[in-house]
Amino acid sequence: MSPYAHDDRVMVSPPYMAGAGDRVADVIGPLIHLFGWRHEHDAATGHVAIDSTDASLFVDFAPLHPLGRWLTVTHHEPYWEAMFSRQAPLEAVAAVTQALPQLLGDARHADRIPITDMPLDQLAELNDWSAEDSVLTSPDLYCRLEHTPGKEIAWQVDHVYFEGDPLATFTQDTPECLVRNFFSHLATPMAVERSFADIPLSTRHGHSALITPVRGAAVSPQVHHALAQLDRPSRPGRRR
């Protein structure tokens, strides 16, 4: 029996085991409120369509998409597309969408919205992911990022719990800085906050993730979670 009620707030690590979460406002809010991008909102379906001030970038949030493709970013000339599923942690998705204005030369708030320049293989090594050929794999083998530069989908992030439903895809010509930003927030061991009910069932009933309470800790929830991580046995996985 779980020690948590459905509405309990908890900390979960690693992020790719935590599900999307409820921070949708962090994904689309800054584009509208900080950068003045135009938007249309269908209150009945929750659908939000956003386009940049120069009409070169489009963000489409479709929470009722039949295939679970929650959010799509599309750029024209050159054409590229980034797609994120409803299982992708929104912290990682927000790291992509919040960086979009900088691609268009809008440096406002750049001090608060970092774009990492660390190469993917170094990000992987920093977070104990293994690298083999063109595939980066998490220490527990549950998540992977594959780079296939000769294909239309140049980067794809998969999770074993959601086979056939990638967490994210990036087509050719997608700026690699966006892939790096997404991956850096996906691969980090830092915990993310969730309502317990929002965590995937496979994570709730498995032993692949660490879940700790937000309330009741003698120290901050983040510190409490970090200390609990120290007590966990090393996860089996491949090493470089």
Summarize pLDDT for 142-178 with one digit per residue, the tens.
999 999 999 999 999 999 999 889 999 999 999 999 9
Residue 17 located in a structural domain? no
Q: Cα–Cα distances in Å, from 67 out to 64, 85, 117, 164? A: 9, 8, 32, 11
Inside any domain, residue 239: no
Q: Could you tell me whether strands 71-75 and 80-84 are parallel, antiparallel, or unpaired per DSSP bridges?
A: antiparallel
- Host domain of residue 145: 22-187
If you average pLDDT over residues 44-59, what whole number do you get? 97
Share of the chain above pLDDT 70, in %: 89
Q: Note whether residue 217 is domain-resident.
A: no
Q: What amino acid is encoded at 194 in this protein? A: R
Establish if 8 belongs to a structural domain. Answer: no
* pLDDT band with cut points at 50, 70 and 90 for residue 118: very high
For 83-107, write each residue's pLDDT tens digit: 999 999 999 999 999 999 999 999 9
Share in percent of the chain as helix, strand, coil (round to 5)? 25, 25, 50
- Is residue 6 included in any domain, yes or no? no
Q: Quote the number of domains for the chain.
A: 1
Element (H, E) at 59: strand 57-61
72, part of any domain:
yes
Q: Does residue 55 lie in a domain region? A: yes
- Supply the pLDDT for residue 177: 98
Q: Are 145 and 156 in contact (CB under 8 A)?
A: yes
Has residue 7 been placed in a domain? no
